[in-house]
Amino acid sequence: MTHPSNRAEVTRRRWKDVLETHADVRNAPVSDRFWSEQDTWSRDHIRAVQDQKVASVAPFLYENSAFYRARFDRLGMAPTDLASVDDLIAKWPVITKQEMMDDVTANPPYGTYTACGDAEWADRGWMLFSSSGTTGVPRVFRYTHFDRQFWEQANARALHSGGLRKGDSALPLVGFGPHVFAWGAQYALAAMGLPVIPGGGLDSKARVDLIQRFNPSTLVCTPSYALYIASVMEDLGIDPAASSVKTLVIGGEAASGVEGTGDRLKNLWGAKIAEFYGCTEVSPHCGGYSCAESQSGGVPFMHLMEDIQIWETVDAETLVPLNEGERGLTVCTNLCSETSPHLRFLVGDYTMLDSTPCPCGRNHLKAMGCMTGRADDLINLRGIKFFPVQIEEAVRSVPGTGDEFQIRLSRTDSGLDTLTVVVEHTDPGAAAQVAAAVRSRCEVRCDVDVVAPKTLPKSEMKAKRVFDERNM
Ligand SMILES: [Zn+2]
């Protein structure tokens, strides 16, 4: 019988071998269309690799993560019970954020859900990332340099698919905080050999000056910041569409799937959008990304990278797996990390999956309509449920409204919950139009406060737009 600590080492070595066997680490694209061989894999080949990874990661997690070991034991399962994707989906209940939060609370500061212990961190630690913490205890994740090489390649595949090529240069306009988006783009750009102009720690006018002087082809930022900096340029008499910027690499917030927002960005900048979607829990790399076909006029979509992740949708109430074409919440199994692989994590964005081949040549799943609302963000007002993006679409549908807006929920003295939407507009009369647009999209009555253009606060990272004061 193998000594327990040896089993931890043996399963780790096997898992790392599997990761390396199926990786394609390169510093140049395999062809003009594809960064990597994996982009061209058939669905059968993708599934075979997924099966092999599941069979290898299950014993690894059992031996290297107390969180996973306890879960296997509680379910009365052995790691060998998960030998394929079918096993995983049939036998392994989804993991929620709450389970991870409980684990962090009981085992601060890291929790036990990752396979990065102090020894790995000291030996080859790379970076620590953290979930935003807007919905509870922040979950932190320590990654190694072994992970970094796979992270860079996955993100390079995504940016190449989004259209970045030699000759492009990028200006990141993002706070380099503990979130994966900015760092993910930065490391991918380095792996692709594309030059970067640092844009941190500057005000917006100084950043406009960088665009004017150094002519980057690409901005890396949130959608709301891309709208904001365009308005700063216009105030200075500069047309963003006449600038050097031809691609917006955007992440952190939904964009191309939000009616009005994607088009507004593309028209303002005369640029294409390369969307970069993910979440910290199943990172470090992105999950969803654009291709040449994804915003060609039909339903916008993102590809999902299936050789390194397994994506499913589940019913929002029962968490039962749904069929393709049924709208549900996203669940992701991450198979691309030594430190933080995860089995069926409930990411919780609404989308609809489609496995039909894409004209771009990729067979990897498509998330139709992109991701347009995380279950956590759902607003319940007097029993009527809607997402902030539905309000966003209503605001965008009224001509002349500013880029920012706020959703304020409050409770009257008599206990009635009310919704107020704050918009920027030169005409106070726009209130009636906004109220009507909200009513038609969300089936809810609201008050509308009209404030002067450019008076609502802006953010480099996710814009804070929902203020729920009902329980204050
Ligand atoms: Zn495609």
- Domains of the chain (ranges plus CATH)? 1-374 (3.40.50.12780), 379-468 (3.30.300.30)
Q: Could you tell me the distance, in angstroms and rounded to a whole number, from the CA of residue 85 to the centre of ligand 1?
A: 24
pLDDT tens, position by position, for the chain (472 residues)?
Answer: 556 679 999 999 999 999 999 999 999 999 999 999 999 999 999 999 999 999 999 999 999 999 999 999 999 999 999 999 999 999 999 999 899 999 999 999 999 999 999 999 999 999 999 987 666 788 999 999 999 999 999 999 999 999 999 999 999 998 888 888 889 999 999 999 999 999 988 999 999 999 999 999 999 999 989 999 999 999 999 999 999 999 999 998 888 788 888 999 999 999 999 999 888 888 767 789 999 999 888 899 999 999 999 999 999 889 999 999 999 999 999 999 999 999 999 998 889 999 999 999 999 999 998 887 777 788 888 888 888 888 998 999 999 999 899 999 999 888 889 999 999 999 999 999 999 999 988 888 999 999 999 899 887 667 788 999 988 7
Q: Could you tell me the distance, in angstroms and rounded to a whole number, from the CA of residue 248 to the centre of ligand 1?
A: 18
Q: Could you tell me the distance, in angstroms and rounded to a whole number, from the CA of residue 365 to the centre of ligand 1?
A: 9
Q: What is the pLDDT of residue 376?
A: 74
Q: Could you tell me the distance, in angstroms and rounded to a whole number, from the CA of residue 301 to the centre of ligand 1?
A: 9
Q: Could you tell me the distance, in angstroms and rounded to a whole number, from the CA of residue 199 to the centre of ligand 1?
A: 30
Q: What is the pLDDT of residue 200?
A: 85
Q: Could you tell me the distance, in angstroms and rounded to a whole number, from the CA of residue 145 to the centre of ligand 1?
A: 30
Q: Could you tell me the distance, in angstroms and rounded to a whole number, from the CA of residue 411 to the centre of ligand 1?
A: 46
Q: Could you tell me the distance, in angstroms and rounded to a whole number, from the CA of residue 273 to the centre of ligand 1?
A: 14
Q: What is the pLDDT of residue 2?
A: 54
pTM of the model: 0.89
Q: Could you tell me the distance, in angstroms and rounded to a whole number, from the CA of residue 349 to the centre of ligand 1?
A: 20
Q: What is the pLDDT of residue 345?
A: 95
Q: Could you tell me the distance, in angstroms and rounded to a whole number, from the CA of residue 454 to the centre of ligand 1?
A: 37
Secondary structure of the chain in HEC code, one letter for each residue: CCCHHHHHHHHHHHHHHHHHHCCCCCCCCCCCCCCCHHHHCCHHHHHHHHHHHHHHHHHHHHHHCHHHHHHHHHCCCCHHHCCCHHHHHHHCCCECHHHHHHHHHHCCCCCCCCCCCHHHHHHHEEEEEECCCCCCCCCEEEEEHHHHHHHHHHHHHHHHHCCCCCCCCEEECCCCCCCHHHHHHHHHHHHCCCCECCCCCCCHHHHHHHHHHHCCCEEEECHHHHHHHHHHHHHCCCCHHHCCCCEEEEECCCCCCCCCHHHHHHHHHCCEEEEEECCHHHCCCCCEECCCCCCCCCCCEEEECCCCEEEEEECCCCCCECCCCCCEEEEEEECCCCCCCEEEEEEEEEEEEECCCCCCCCCCCEEECCCCCEHHHCEEECCEEECHHHHHHHHHCCCCCCCCEEEEEEECCCCCEEEEEEEECCCCCHHHHHHHHHHHHHCCCCEEEEECCCCCCCCCCCCCCEEECCCC
Q: Could you tell me the distance, in angstroms and rounded to a whole number, from the CA of residue 307 to the centre of ligand 1?
A: 15
CA distance 332 to 278: 10
Q: What is the pLDDT of residue 254?
A: 80
Q: Could you tell me the distance, in angstroms and rounded to a whole number, from the CA of residue 427 to the centre of ligand 1?
A: 42
Q: Could you tell me the distance, in angstroms and rounded to a whole number, from the CA of residue 355 to the centre of ligand 1?
A: 11
